[in-house]
Amino acid sequence: MSKVLIIYYSRTGNTKAMAQAVEEGVKFEGLDVQCKDVKDVSPKDLLDYGGIIVGSPTYYGTMAAQIKLLLDESVKYHGKLAGKVGGAFSSSGILGGGNETTVLDILKALLVHGMIIQGSPMGPHYGPVSIGKPDAGNRNQCVNLGKSVAQLFKRLA
């Protein structure tokens, strides 16, 4: 199960661009990775991956309904995702628009599943965020998230 799944919802491409940078980071660490639009992910798919990273635009200070729906439907596998490595990222419209609370909301759901989350002491503490289209710095933070999830997975494996 040396696979990482990156799930994103993106209406105008910003979160998708972040997801692609996260994918780059996982690949750099030599793990199999799939990057999927949430519409192509079923709750059962979550069982097949050792790492699950979720990205959402910030909608009203939290995740988009499409992402929340997948998480709610994942209750079917409650207890079965424990020990998997997780991460989250978000794109918002403005500074202070709730991107960090969105990341934390996603991470809370992953923690409820018993997943393992590593914070970051130096970079964005909870996970990468961007205002609109990710710039080079945001992209780099996303690559680093992919790397750190993959590294933790390898250490635990």
Ligand X SMILES: Cc1cc2nc3c(=O)[nH]c(=O)nc-3n(C[C@H](O)[C@H](O)[C@H](O)COP(=O)(O)O)c2cc1C
- Kindly report the backbone phi and psi dihedral angles of residue 27, in degrees, each rounded to the nearest multiple of 5, phi listed first: -60, -40
Query: Please, what is the angle between helix 99-112 and helix 65-73, to 10°?
Result: 10
# residues near ligand X by CB under 6 A: 19
Beta bridge partners of 3: 32
Which residue, among 131, 130, 124, has the nearest Cα to 145 in the 3D structure? 124
Compute the distance between CA of residue 134 and CA of residue 91 in angstroms, rounded to an integer.
Answer: 8
- When the beta carbons of 94 and 156 are compared against ligand X, the nearer one is 94
91 binds ligand X (CB under 6 A): yes
Which one of 32, 47, 48, 93 is in contact with ligand X (CB under 6 A)? 93
Which one of 4, 5, 6, 14 is in contact with ligand X (CB under 6 A)? 14
59 binds ligand X (CB under 6 A): yes
Residue nearest to ligand X (CB): 97
Candidates 7-15, 26-34, 36-44, 115-123 — which segment interacts with ligand X by CB under 6 A? 7-15
Candidates 10-18, 39-47, 72-80, 109-117 — which segment interacts with ligand X by CB under 6 A? 10-18
- When the beta carbons of 49 and 59 are compared against ligand X, the nearer one is 59
Work out the angle at residue 59's Cα, subtended by the Cα atoms of residues 71 and 146, and round it to the nearest 5 degrees: 60
What are the C-alpha distances in Å from 108 to residues 20, 33, 65, 87, 103?
Answer: 23, 23, 16, 10, 9
Residues in contact with ligand X by CB under 6 A are 10-16, 57-61, 91-94, 97-98, 132
